[in-house]
Every structure is written in C-alpha cells, then in structure tokens.
C-alpha cells in the first residue's frame, strides 16, 4: 500500500505518567494504586479479562473521567488521537466530507489519501452511517495519520475487522513514528506490534517489558509463585491446603483456562457480527452460552481458592 504519513511534532520523553491511581464505580473498585509510565515512541498494550477496567483506564488517560485517588500527567507537546471501535456512530456526512472536517486538504488531495486506505473512486461519497466497522476504522485511521498526532490511543482496534482493513491498520501502525497505547484481546496483534504490556487483574496493574506472549508467561510464573507462597504463609493451615489441593486445581491453572475462555468468547462474538445464516448464528450463540457458563464456573472455583 505504501503508506507514508505526515511528520508529527515529537512529544517530550514522558508521554503519560500515572501515579498511585485508584478508580471505582458504585462501590466496586476497578484498580487501586495503579502506576503506568509510557515514554516517547513506546508501544504499550493494556490487557486483562473483561470487566477489569481496561476501557476505564483509557478514559482516565483521555481525561473523560477523573481518578478517585492519584495523579495522571500528560507530557509536554503530547497531541492525542483516539481510535475507538465506536467511531462515527452519529455522523451524517459522507467519507470525503468526514475526512476533510479534520484534515485541511483539497478534495483531490483527500481522495488521493483516502485511496491509500482503500476508499477508491465513488466509495468516497458513501455515507458514513452505511460503512462497516472495518471501513469506519480505516476512515478514522486516515484522519489520525494525517493530523499532527504524536500519541495514538486505541480501544480494541481489530474488533470486527475484515482482512483488508486489518492489513491497513497493521501497516499504518508499523509506519507510525509516534507513541501507541492500546487495549486489545487480539493475541496476534499484540505480539506483532507491542513491546510493553500492562496486565490488569485483581484491581492491580502489572507491568511487563515485552509483548503479550512474554507477559503471559511471566504472569503465569507470578501466579505459581503466589500459590507456593500461599501454601507456606497463607491464612489456612498446611493441612487444610493439602486437602484442598486434592479437590481443586491451582490458581494459575484456573487463571490460564479463564484467559482461553475469554479469548474464545471474543472470537465467537466477532464471528457473529458477520454471519447471516440463522442456523449458523444459533449454533454460535449456543456455543457462546456454554462458554459463558463455563466462565462463571471457573470464577466460582477461583473464589473458593482465595477465600
């Protein structure tokens, strides 16, 4: 595709710093004393199970909501661009008009740029409301890449993407020379493009200097260490732990299975977006329901271990 983007003004070394931040809703804590530090040109990912507060964390960084406790500081000369899976929900203009609302170029220049993002010929006159999820993502990405943005924040950017849109996204991010922070469930995407991983679990934010595969390995090692420590220093006696071990799996084993179940549910939901055949849709829904029931069972099992 040969994507070449406008040169962005570089930001300061520290792009965003979060210190001892806590946030909760309706009496439920999402994370406590969380710390995050993203530097210029770093590519950092935020991962964790559904409901752990990943999107809430992005909203805090975007200053859409305030922390209950702690400090969030955006660095000098940082210009944020946000790519959401819910972009353009209420826009009535066409693709060309929407692009030029944010990028000051002539119609000819706009059409040339949009062609790089697979909007060819009459496709630029298509109403934004008629675009697929992948097309909306490509349009928003085109805008961001031709604005003076040096910090991209992405919320599930590969959600419901067709193959062509995914290729555009990956190439664009590979060419981008600014800083990127993304929330995603997509293992391939995370492993390919990100070098730092923040893992949210049990109201804590853990940092790993590596991609998702590395972070997951280290996370599982951490869980195993906690289980061993719990055996020696936990509230329960050694005898009680020994009896419990016969009847249940380790904390790390259940966490690992839960992660796989979450990924399966995410994949099923993504497939359901595109299936038109009613019979196939019913089968997918049935499979998703079974996975959700298994997930609930695993959560219950996990709670029994840590009681």
The answer to whether residues 111 and 185 belong to one domain is: yes
For residue 245, the model assigns a pLDDT of 47
Does residue 258 share a domain with residue 162?
Answer: no
Q: Average pLDDT of 269-287?
A: 74
Section 33-39 average pLDDT: 97
Same-domain pairing of 21 and 115 = yes
**Does the residue 215 lie in any domain?**
no
What does the pLDDT read at residue 2? 56
> Is residue 3 situated within a structural domain?
no
Laid out side by side, the sheet with 204-208 consists of: 80-84, 151-155, 179-183, 43-48, 196-201, 204-208
Q: Are residues 25 and 133 in the same domain?
A: yes
Residue 243's pLDDT is what?
Answer: 38
pLDDT at 273: 66
This prediction has a pTM of 0.76
Both 53 and 171 in one domain: the answer is: yes
Residue pLDDT, tens place only, 78-137: 999 999 877 776 678 999 999 999 899 999 999 999 999 999 999 999 999 999 888 999
Count other C-beta atoms under 10 Å from residue 197's C-beta: 24
Number of domains in the chain: 2
Structure-model confidence comparison of residues 214 and 84, the more confident one: 214
Query: Is it the case that residue 153 has pLDDT exceeding 50?
Result: yes
Q: How confident is the model at residue 304 (pLDDT cuts 50, 70, 90)?
A: low
How sure is the predictor about 160, in pLDDT bands with cuts at 50, 70 and 90?
A: confident
Any idea what the CATH number is for the domain that residue 131 is in?
A: 3.40.50.300
Token pair 């790993």 in the structure block, residue = 208
**pLDDT value of residue 244:** 46
Residue 246: per-residue pLDDT: 42
Same domain for 247 and 204, yes or no, is no
Range of the domain at 109: 14-208
Rounded Cα distance between 243 and 245, Å, is: 5
Q: Do 194 and 126 belong together in one domain?
A: yes
Instruction: Examine the domain organization and report whether 30 and 152 are in the same domain.
Output: yes
Is a pLDDT exceeding 70 seen at residue 230? no
Confidence of residue 148 (pLDDT cuts 50, 70, 90): confident
235-261 pLDDT per residue, tens: 554 444 443 444 456 777 887 888 888
pLDDT at 301 over 60: yes
């Amino acid at each position: 595709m040969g994507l070449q983007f406008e040169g962005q003004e570089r930001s300061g070394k520290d792009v965003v710093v979060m210190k001892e931040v806590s946030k909760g809703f309706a009496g439920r804590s999402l994370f406590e004393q969380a710390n995050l530090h993203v530097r210029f040109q770093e590519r950092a990912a935020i991962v964790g199970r559904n409901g752990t507060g990943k999107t809430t964390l992005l909203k805090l960084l975007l200053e859409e909501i305030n922390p209950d406790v702690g400090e969030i500081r955006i660095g000098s000369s940082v210009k944020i661009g946000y790519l959401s899976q819910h972009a353009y929900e209420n826009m009535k203009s066409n693709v060309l008009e929407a692009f030029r609302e944010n990028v000051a170029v002539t119609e000819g220049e706009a059409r040339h740029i949009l062609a790089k993002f697979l909007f060819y010929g009459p496709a630029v006159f298509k109403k934004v409301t008629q675009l697929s999820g992948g097309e909306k993502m490509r349009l928003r990405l085109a805008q961001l890449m031709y604005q003076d943005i040096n910090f991209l924040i992405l919320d599930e950017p590969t959600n419901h993407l067709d193959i062509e849109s995914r290729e555009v996204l990956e190439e664009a991010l590979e060419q981008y020379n600014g800083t990127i922070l993304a929330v995603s469930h997509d293992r391939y995407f995370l492993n390919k493009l990100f070098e730092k991983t923040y893992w949210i679990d049990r109201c804590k934010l853990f940092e790993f200097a590596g991609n998702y595969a590395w972070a997951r390995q280290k996370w599982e090692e951490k869980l195993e260490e906690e289980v061993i420590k719990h055996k020696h220093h936990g509230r329960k006696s050694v005898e009680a732990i020994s009896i419990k071990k016969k009847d249940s799996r380790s904390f790390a084993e259940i966490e690992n299975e839960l992660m796989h179940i979450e990924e399966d549910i995410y994949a099923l939901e993504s497939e359901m977006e595109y299936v038109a055949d009613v019979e196939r849709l019913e089968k997918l829904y049935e499979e998703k329901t079974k996975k959700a029931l298994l997930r609930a069972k695993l959560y219950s099992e996990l709670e029994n271990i840590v009681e």
